[in-house]
Structure 1
Amino acid sequence: MLDAALSYIARGWPVFPCEPGGKAPLGVLVPRGFKDATRDVEHASRWWTSFPNANVAIPTGADTFDCLDVDVEPSGSGYGAFNRLKRAGLVPDPIAIVATPRGGMHGWLVGSAQASGRLAKHHIDFKARGGYVVAPPSEVNGRPYTFVHQGTGVGMLNWSAVRDLLDPPKPVAAPAYIGPKRGDYGIPGLAVWLSTRTSHRNDSLFWACCRAIENGAGEADLDELVRVAVTLPGDDELTEREARRTVRSALRTARRTA
């Protein structure tokens, strides 16, 4: 384990110890978990000299790598979702592929500042900023993590695109009476109407985008509707990221019905 830890440090990656045979940080040495990871050879040597069987873990994110975690559990397997992502061209060539103890896999990908995420019903996890992975040759329940492929490590996984493909937002049809008069379906009229919405802003933005697209607006034209939607005061706030997802959903809906 010490040799492995030092080999990861040689690549410029910080490491920290987890419980022998487990995934939890070894709290007696790293009370802050992955935040205590180190690139210092002497520091790491002291850790693994004290606990030679401690598993080796690496924080994920921009300083190391992102990880697409495909789980295999009694409730299901993530390989079906993973194959959908591959067919859609959303999985870049990895730095490495690691077989995990329960039959799943970790795809180590170019690191980014994206937040970690999870799609539980698809048995897919994404470990990036704020996450970590247990690395080979660590073992859990007597079964090791092992490298099965070394790749070029070119290209970054877009977790937002993964989420949109596997778990797209469900558009909500607005009531027939909602919205301005039909003559006001241009961007200015829709923006004025949207500025009056004090609730259900996501649904209202979706409806307004669909009407604008039907009236000939392109994706760039919808920026004004996004600006209005995210600056409205009140409790029913909408972030720009949520608004952009709604715009993409409206564009997909418009293409399907065109």
Structure 2
Amino acid sequence: MDTVALLASMVGLTPREGAPRFAAAGIPVFPCKPAQKRPLTEHGFHDATTDAEQVARWWTQWPQANIGMPTGHASGLEVVDVDVHGAVRGFAAFELARREGLADRWQALVKTASGGMHAYYPADPDRAQPSWQAARSGIDFRGEGGYVIVPPSLVLFEGNRSAYELIGAGRGESVPIDGAALRAFLDPKPASVSTPTTNSRRDVEVERIAAWLATRPEGERNRALYWAACRLAENGVTDQSARTALGPAAQHAGLGQSEVLTTIRSAYRTVAAPTSPLQSRGAQAVARPINGQVIS
């Protein structure tokens, strides 16, 4: 059974009923506290197994337990976690990464309890990728050393139990994601540019950032603009001033005016965290339909 079919088969089940299906499909699982994400076993995701008898014992002992799945080589799956909590909204950053071809070949999309999203990708058996966080962008990567909660688990969020559920499938063949490239796009750190620290230095640093941006080659210019706009936003530069300072530099590097405006706007939304158009539509903004419809 493929990943999408497996996740789709969880509709209407309880976690106790769903856990054996993951194990039978060769995906190791372990129990987590009811309505929570914390493991119930001593070694957490290291205890995950496909052994049917052990899975049955766990969910007999804890019938309301949620289902945890280790990511990376253990399950053959890696997950991009689009966060939604507090001021953080990760959908805009995920959409930018998708447009750049860094996150667009997923297997499945799962709605999380907070209204965020998990994008599932096949793990490359020849490349181990560690888990990491890009907190400013609202994106986490779950690879080696990580785990996620899977459908049909329910997690308490803002006083209500909300289900993890499949909302979409990939279009075309899914491919492993390059976690290092995605991280560099979401949080690039060019050594040649320093972040402004005082008002007296701000104008000089904006000029230096713009000059650096203007020299970026194809393949780097969009993420460089996103990084530059985020830095200006974090240091109190208005979005209009950012467009004035960075727009000509980005266009000199080869970006079109529409793309420049969209990228700067997305960076400011990520930093300032108002509700973005992507977030207002929820995870379905980037969902792919299954058999012509989105499963919810």
Same fold (TM over 0.5): yes
Residues in 2 aligned to 1:87 and 1:80: alpha-carbon distance in whole angstroms: 11
Q: Deviations over 1:157-186 (max 9, x none)?
A: 11111122121122227xxxxxxxxxxxxx
| Aligned partner of residue 34 in structure 1, secondary structure | helix
**How do 1:132-143 and structure 2 match up within 5 A?**
132-141=147-156, 142-143=161-162
Structure 1 match to 2:287: none
Highest relative contact order (Cα 8 Å, sep 6+), 1 or 2? 2
Out of 169, 174, 178, the position equivalent to 1:158 is 178
Q: Based on CA coordinates, which of the two structures has the bigger radius of gyration?
A: 1
Residues in 1 aligned to 2:188 and 2:149: alpha-carbon distance in whole angstroms: 30
Structure 1 match to 2:35: 21
For structure 2, the residue ranges without an aligned partner over 5 or more in a row are 1-14, 194-251, 255-296
Letter in 1 for 2:151: P
Out of 150, 165, 168, the position equivalent to 2:188 is 168
Letter in 2 for 1:170: P
Structure 2 match to 1:197: none
Please say if residues 110 and 153 of structure 1, whose CA atoms lie closer than 8 Å, have aligned partners that are also in contact. Answer: no
Out of 112, 127, 131, the position equivalent to 1:116 is 131
Judged with a 3 Å threshold, the aligned counterparts in structure 2 of structure 1 residues 153 and 69 are, in CA distance, closer, same or farther, namely: farther
- The reply to whether residue 82 of structure 1 matches residue 94 of structure 2 is yes
Judged with a 3 Å threshold, the aligned counterparts in structure 2 of structure 1 residues 156 and 92 are, in CA distance, closer, same or farther, namely: farther
For structure 1, the residue ranges without an aligned partner over 5 or more in a row are 174-254
Q: Deviations over 1:137-161 (max 9, x none)?
A: 1111111111112336621111111
Structure 2 match to 1:49: 60
Post-superposition, which runs of at least 4 consecutive aligned residues in structure 1 deviate over 3 A?
Answer: none
- The reply to whether residue 148 of structure 1 matches residue 167 of structure 2 is yes
Letter in 1 for 2:169: Q
Q: Deviations over 1:70-92 (max 9, x none)?
A: 01112120001001001101114
| Aligned partner of residue 106 in structure 1, secondary structure | strand
**How do 1:175-194 and structure 2 match up within 5 A?**
none
- The reply to whether residue 6 of structure 1 matches residue 20 of structure 2 is yes
| Aligned partner of residue 23 in structure 1, secondary structure | coil
Aligned residues: 174
TM-score, normalised to structure 1, is: 0.64
Residues in 2 aligned to 1:125 and 1:18: alpha-carbon distance in whole angstroms: 20
Judged with a 3 Å threshold, the aligned counterparts in structure 2 of structure 1 residues 153 and 135 are, in CA distance, closer, same or farther, namely: farther
TM-score, normalised to structure 2, is: 0.56
Shift of 1:256: 5.4
Residues in 2 aligned to 1:93 and 1:149: alpha-carbon distance in whole angstroms: 12
